[in-house]
Amino acid sequence: MNNTDENASALFTQEELERYADVLLWAAEISRGKPFRGSETVLIEYDQPARELAEVLYVRILERGLVPLQHQRAGSLMEYSYLTLANNKRLNIVAPGERERMGGVNGLIRLLAPESLTYLESVDPELQARRENARAQLQEMLFFRELRHALGRTMAVYPTQSLADAAGMPLSAYAAQIRKACLLGSADPVREWKRFWREQHAIIDWLNGLGVSELHVQSENVDLTVPLGEQRKWLGLTGRNMPSFEIYTSPDSRRTEGVYKADQPLYMGGVRVEDVRLTFQQGRVVHVQSGSGVDRMRRFMALEEGAWRVGEFSMTSKEHSRINAFMAATLYDENIGGQAGNCHIALGASHPDAFSGEPADFTHLRRHELGFNESTQHWDLVNTEQKKVTARLADGSHKVIYEDGVFTA
């Protein structure tokens, strides 16, 4: 679809940008588990098209008595050039000062505004994975700083023409989806998000209190058994993504059985992958099909064992989500509500905070013992069909927990 470029500065009013900034600061504080204090530092990492929002956020941080820092990420051409021209040594390097910067800030807000979704389509998946592997140590550090309440972080999308074209809608309509999903039309969106946080956590508390040992997911193209494993908990609206309507956990990656179809497209390393169909046996994918992009998917999966196993299972209620269209951005597509809600699985990395024990006990050995999947990859595969999710409880009884797009709490 070739939409005419639109004036990005007209997509949001100044008031809406300020509300967006307020929501992101609140989300980062939710992630941290406590408010920011005077003169603490908040880093804004942004893609160039999101500069308008970054500038408003910069001012908002100052008005809160905090210290803003800013970093514009490399653009599409720069990243493509690095991946194709750097040798192995340079691909494995973490830039000097980056670990110190991430280890010292109190807040981190990432603004995603891709100039292109396909610029990496000709780049070998192994090169992309090697670059991600080098940065895995930073992600581990951020997670443990967050658990110590030393860091709050969040991530959000700013509309670009590439996203709108991939989603098949005008840029103004894409921005309207973001406005609606993030509650920017409200006079006080932070108050609305706080209300939703309370509603969602009532359902999370209900799920955690059921003692679920296994899930059976059924729809027209899904018949999947997902054992949860020991020391698991359900999560939602942690603040790390904005918006966030899903409720999710990380199951035992060694025991998934059955078939699963993703009816929403995703982009894997610059290639659009559609109609993914997976067959699991003893926790591992044994058969992969796709309407398009299957070769790309298989090449990424071949890079490590964890990419063949499930790291996340998630459900979103149609009564909660304000997203009703494909957005070509995982952050939104994994939260779609529409007419039937959605569930999704992710191949690859588990969420460490789905561990119900003490964070200090979550060693690599303990992760392996409990079946938490370890991987540098994480691909969310979304199904929006009408479905039923039945839980087997610890006492052996069964209970439908999700049906026709809503939780049954």
Q: In this structure, what CATH number is given to the domain that contains residue 99?
A: 3.40.1830.10
**How far apart are the C-alpha atoms of 102 and 50, rounded to whole Å?**
21
Q: Which residues of 151-161 are buried (b: 16+ CB within 10 A; e: fewer)?
A: bbbbbbbbbbb
Reported confidence tier of residue 102, pLDDT bands at 50, 70, 90 = confident
- Identify whether the C-beta of residue 258 lies closer than 8 Å to the C-beta of residue 224: yes
- Same structural domain for residues 180 and 199? no
DSSP 8-state symbol, 241? B
pLDDT single digits (tens) 362-398: 998 999 999 999 999 999 999 999 999 999 999 999 9
Q: Is residue 2 part of a domain?
A: no
- Same structural domain for residues 175 and 208? no
Q: Looking at 169, 187, 205, which one is the last position of a domain?
A: 187
Residues near 135 by Cβ (< 8 Å), separated by ≥ 6? 94
Residue 137: which H helix or E strand, with range?
A: helix 125-147
Q: How far is CA 222 from CA 86, 219, 260, 266, 373, in A?
A: 42, 5, 5, 18, 22
DSSP 8-state symbol, 4? P
Q: Is residue 3 part of a domain?
A: no
Provide the residue type at 268 as one letter: M
Q: Is residue 286 part of a domain?
A: yes
Q: What local confidence, expressed as pLDDT, does residue 96 receive?
A: 86
Q: What local confidence, expressed as pLDDT, does residue 10 receive?
A: 83
- Same structural domain for residues 201 and 82? no
Please tell me the pTM assigned to this model.
0.94
Reported confidence tier of residue 4, pLDDT bands at 50, 70, 90 = very low
Residue 126: which H helix or E strand, with range?
A: helix 125-147
- Same structural domain for residues 238 and 183? no
Provide the terminal-to-terminal Cα distance of the chain, rounded to the nearest Å: 42
If one compares 139 and 195, the residue with the highest pLDDT of the two is 195
Q: What local confidence, expressed as pLDDT, does residue 9 receive?
A: 55
CA-closest candidate to residue 104, choices 132, 69, 136, 60: 69
Residue 171: which H helix or E strand, with range?
A: helix 171-181
pLDDT single digits (tens) 111-131: 999 999 999 999 999 999 999
- Same structural domain for residues 69 and 50? yes
- Same structural domain for residues 270 and 167? no
Residues near 82 by Cβ (< 8 Å), separated by ≥ 6? 74, 90, 131
DSSP for 282-348 reads: TTEEEEEE-SB-HHHHHHHHTT-GGGGSEEEEEEE-TTT----S--S-HHHHTT--TTT-EEEEEEE
- Same structural domain for residues 138 and 200? no
CA-closest candidate to residue 353, choices 123, 153, 175, 121: 153
- Same structural domain for residues 167 and 204? no
Structural domain including 232 reads: 194-407
- Same structural domain for residues 310 and 176? no
Taking residues 7-34, what's their average pLDDT? Answer: 92
- Identify whether the C-beta of residue 13 lies closer than 8 Å to the C-beta of residue 172: no
**How far apart are the C-alpha atoms of 111 and 64, rounded to whole Å?**
19
Q: Is residue 323 part of a domain?
A: yes
Q: What is the bridge-based pairing of β-strands 107-112 and 152-157? A: parallel
DSSP 8-state symbol, 379? E
Taking residues 219-245, what's their average pLDDT? Answer: 97
Q: Looking at 171, 187, 203, which one is the last position of a domain?
A: 187
- Same structural domain for residues 253 and 369? yes
- Same structural domain for residues 232 and 331? yes
State whether residue 362 is helix, strand or coil: coil
Q: Looking at 142, 157, 187, which one is the last position of a domain?
A: 187
Domain count, the chain: 2
Residue ranges of E strands in 91-180: 107-112, 152-157
pLDDT single digits (tens) 80-99: 999 999 888 888 888 888 88
Beta bridge partners of 219: 222, 387
- Identify whether the C-beta of residue 273 lies closer than 8 Å to the C-beta of residue 292: yes
Residues near 187 by Cβ (< 8 Å), separated by ≥ 6? none
Q: Is residue 1 part of a domain?
A: no
- Same structural domain for residues 286 and 149? no
